[in-house]
Amino acid sequence: MTNSSDWINALRLRTLPLSVSGILVGSFVAVYQGYWNPIIFLLALFTTLLFQILSNLANDLGDYLKGADNSGRIGPVRAVQSGAISKSAMKNAVVFTAAISFISAGFLIYFGTKHLSSASIYIYTGLAIASILAAVTYTIGKKAYGYNGLGDLFVFIFFGLISVMGVYPLFSDTFSWELVLPAVTIGFLSTSVLNLNNMRDRENDEKVGKRTLAVKLGAKNAKRYHFFLISTAFLSWIFFLVLSKNWLGFVSLIPTILFIKHLIFVAKNSVPKELDSQLKTVALGTFFISILYVISVSVSQWVF
């Protein structure tokens, strides 16, 4: 019999803080510019969390069906792989989570697009459907994009561009190209988490035919790519803080020291298994950047 702890493990709670980082940043850029709606904020957070949970459950099922989750895999044992949750139960969970994700997105669209054009409703509905499909087809289906080296691109688009730039108009009823900079930051840092995961699993993924970008690049170039993602993310973030003239926002650079230590660790690493410990560093480091930005904006609004 499946225990509640098995389902909690399958949800992969450690991935959830990273998933809301873009929503936090996009929402508080709006706050910095004088826009706020607590209902939209809470619905955006809830919907994003559901999308991430859906992705985690679908990934657990998909990697098992494709043979990527096997005894040679380095990361934590997955629920379906271990037998803790049956295939049928996981399929039902994926369908159920997809349904409630769409319902939550529907409420977000309803409250967030009241003052936007009718075309915006269709755009956001399309984005909601695309988010659900992307969460599921990362590992499920004959053309699962996670098995063809496109996972990085999709993470950048959905965790970065759509998350940061998509939530802002729901508060402000306008669009700002300035958001490209923080979207690049959150998108690249989120992608670096995936790349780190793929560097860890590179050898096993190659054996089972999972052609992630790390597999295609090889160990040495995957590290170079990792350095590019993180360094570009921080440069983009600094430019954003300068352009927005949020000087208190520079407090969000405090986690930089964590990332410097992380990059040194990755540069010296020769044992893929040891990279697993760094996933938490990058994921929580990204979350801390967003939280510190939220605090800086809140303080600036309160003081000034």
CATH number at residue 199: 1.10.600
The pair of structure tokens assigned to 159 is 């965790």
CB-based burial, 36-70: b 16+ in 10 Å, e otherwise: ebeebbebbbbbbbbbbbbbbbbbbbbbbbbebbe
What 3-state DSSP class applies to 28? helix
Tell which residue, 13, 7, 14, has the closest CA to residue 283.
Answer: 14
pLDDT in tens, 124-177: 999 999 999 999 999 898 889 988 999 999 999 999 999 999 999 999 988 888
This prediction's pTM: 0.93
* CA-atom Rg of the chain in angstroms: 19
Structural domain for 22, as ranges:
4-303
Cα 27 from Cα 67, distance rounded (Å): 39
CB-based burial label for 28 (10 Å; 0-12, 13-18, 19+):
buried
Instruction: Check residue 81 and give its pLDDT.
Output: 81
Query: Is residue 137 a contact partner of residue 129, using CB atoms and an 8 Å limit?
Result: no
Structure tokens at 246: 């949020």
Q: Residues 44-84: pLDDT tens digits?
A: 999 999 999 999 999 989 888 887 666 556 667 778 888 88
Residues whose CB falls within 8 Å of the CB of residue 12, separated by 6 or more in sequence, listed in order: 56
Query: What pLDDT does 223 receive?
Result: 97
Residue 164: both structure tokens together? 């940061």
Mean pLDDT (the chain) is 92
Residue 304: predicted pLDDT: 55
Report the domain count for the chain: 1
